[in-house]
Amino acid sequence: MLIAGNWKMYKSPAEAAEFCLGLREEELDGVDVVVCPPFVSLAVAVQLLAGTEIAVASQNVHWEQEGAYTGEISASMLRELGVYGAIVGHSERRQYFGETDETVAKRVRGALDAGLFVIACIGETEEERERGATEEVLRRQLSVLEADDNLVVAYEPVWAIGTGKTATPEVAQQAHAFVKTLLNVSVLYGGSVKPDNAADLLGLPDVDGALVGGASLELDSFVAICRAGARIPS
């Protein structure tokens, strides 16, 4: 069971330090935990979580190892910092920054080749779900990926991110089961995961963990979700 906290554009280095100092004091046996700070807070998170089982991942990574790519960060730079992995293709990257299935594929491949663990995000918009295109969208997004021991997929229905809406357990299970018919990987659920719904979502047969957004910003709520995951029989 993997619980990853995506901090998005929150937590300065000082705020990240406070969070990580608190997190390292928590008992989180029985679950794999990852935090994903903004680039400027990665180093302090790596330093303060050293010696624990908690991993640190970035929120994006470029496919080239160096070059004239202003504003981008390479996998080798992340690895030198001690970063374990990267999120790729989050819906906000697709929505606001022009990420495509093709660039997601390049980022995933580059990161895996460089030795990073990758959480690749997929998911449909509300409009796509309403017109019955969910499986078509997921099939397209997954078609550019290949199974890898260091790759997991996060299913994040776009209509449930930052909206307070959450896919029902039935909807989440159906989507996760469909993903696994196309790609042999673990699948996380991402979309308004909170302490009060975590157990129901994480207990589904084909849900292997969670990519947590807003609820990962407060230590108590993130720890509660991690502990909910730890209580699910493996």
163 or 82, greater pLDDT: 82
pLDDT higher than 70, residue 162 = no
Check 90, 92, 124, 176 and give the catalytic one. Answer: 90
Please confirm, yes or no, whether 62 is among the known catalytic residues. Answer: no
CA angle 233, 153, 195 (to 5 degrees): 50
CA separation for the pair 44, 140 (Å, rounded): 37
Which string of b and e fits 79-116 if b means at least 16 CB within 10 Å?
Answer: beeebbbbbbbbbbbbeeeebebebbbbbbbbbbebeb
pLDDT higher than 70, residue 4 = yes
Beta strands in 7-74 (DSSP E): 32-36, 55-58
Region for residue 98 given its phi and psi (left: phi exceeds 0; alpha: psi -120 to 50; beta: otherwise): left
Beta strands in 137-234 (DSSP E): 151-155, 187-189, 209-212
Question: What's the confidence (pLDDT) of residue 17?
Answer: 98
Question: What's the confidence (pLDDT) of residue 149?
Answer: 97
Question: What's the confidence (pLDDT) of residue 117?
Answer: 98
Please confirm, yes or no, whether 156 is among the known catalytic residues. Answer: yes
Question: What's the confidence (pLDDT) of residue 78?
Answer: 98
Question: Hey, where are the domains in the chain?
Answer: 2-230
CA separation for the pair 119, 108 (Å, rounded): 9
Contacts of 18 (CB under 8 A, 6+ apart): none
pLDDT higher than 80, residue 234 = no
Question: What's the confidence (pLDDT) of residue 175?
Answer: 95
Each residue's pLDDT tens digit, 31-73: 999 999 999 999 999 999 999 999 999 999 999 999 999 999 9
pLDDT higher than 80, residue 221 = yes
Question: What's the confidence (pLDDT) of residue 82?
Answer: 98
CA angle 214, 125, 72 (to 5 degrees): 60
Question: What's the confidence (pLDDT) of residue 165?
Answer: 74
Mean pLDDT value of segment 89-115: 97
**Average pLDDT score over the chain:** 95
Check 92, 99, 124, 156 and give the catalytic one. Answer: 156
Mean pLDDT value of segment 93-109: 97
Please identify, in words, the CATH class of the domain defined by 2-230. alpha beta
The position carrying tokens 């229905």 is: 157
Mean pLDDT value of segment 122-147: 94
Contacts of 194 (CB under 8 A, 6+ apart): 166, 215, 221, 225
Each residue's pLDDT tens digit, 170-213: 999 999 999 999 999 999 999 889 999 999 999 999 999 999 99
Look up the pTM and report it. Answer: 0.96
